[in-house]
Amino acid sequence: MTMPNSKRLLQAMVAVLALVPVSAGLAGVLLGPSAFAPSGDWPVDLDSHFHYLSGIFLAIGLAFWATVPAIERKTTLFRLAAAAVVLGGAARLLSLVVDGVPSPPHLVGLCLELVVTPLLVVWQARVARATD
């Protein structure tokens, strides 16, 4: 694959995959935990914390989108957003070990966080190096 094609494919992948944190973050900001679980009997502090973390999740998706137009020059922002995702994945993995296996959508999230995101970092680095 030529480098221009690799860059365009990376841009497309990042643009599409960023829909996950943007949509989930926005749902959490607007609806709180009830966006993901039917019970509406949440303690106020848990609800507040969930809204806050959803805002961070939304910001991570927006940060990834901000890298798309010049992805070869946005290495620092790309890696910062990716680091947040991988650290979140590590926390999700800890939860899996301590509390049990989550539902399938969360397992997909875990794979995106701990497998796909690091691969995207490597890909972005190759694109960046090739355009220097």
pLDDT at 99: 97
Q: Is 50 left (phi over 0), alpha (psi -120 to 50) or beta?
A: alpha
The answer to whether the Cα torsion of 87, 20, 114, 10 is positive or negative is: negative
- pTM, to two decimals: 0.92
Sole residue written with tokens 């890298």: 67
Per-residue pLDDT of the chain (132 residues; tens, 9 = 90+): 787 899 999 999 999 999 999 999 999 999 999 888 887 788 999 999 999 999 999 999 999 999 999 999 999 999 999 999 999 999 999 999 999 999 999 999 999 999 999 999 999 999 999 987
Largest CA distance in the chain: 54
Q: How far, CA to CA in Å, does 108 sit from each of 84, 95, 132?
A: 17, 15, 34
pLDDT tens digit string along 1-22?
A: 787 899 999 999 999 999 999 9
pLDDT at 74: 98
